[in-house]
Amino acid sequence: QVQLVESGGGLVQAGGSLRLSCAASKGTFSTYAMAWFRQAPGMEREFVAGISWSGGITYYADSVKGRFTISRDNAKNTVYLQMNSLKREDTAVYYCAATSGSYSGSPLGYDYWGQGTRVTVSS
């Protein structure tokens, strides 16, 4: 089974940048579509960005378009989320997710999840 481990979270001032990484267990990583979700206190888990198995198609929530970039390196079994111009409202626990099926903006569409990495943006 696929195991996902996120890293790269931390404390950053508003306007700063962070790059999150999600390392997957080796196997059939390249056949999975990947996504990042986030969950803030008292909020539902929400879609942030997604990427197709080939990396050729990406999707972003309106709230992060132009600021965040998702990418993947299938040779390293890793997906990244580059976060620039961070805002206070970006504070959340960020989760990496994988699906063997089609892209979905709903967390219900994903088969595997990481444990999450916390991002805190100070104002």
pLDDT (tens, 9 = 90+) of the chain, 123 residues, equals 789 999 999 999 999 999 999 999 876 677 889 999 999 999 999 999 999 888 889 999 999 999 999 999 988 989 999 999 999 999 999 999 999 887 788 999 999 999 999 999 998
Helix/strand/coil for 69:
strand
Local structure of residue 62 (DSSP, 8 states): T
Sign of CA dihedral 109, 35, 28, 7: negative
- Asked whether 98 and 13 are in contact (CB, 8 A), the reply is no
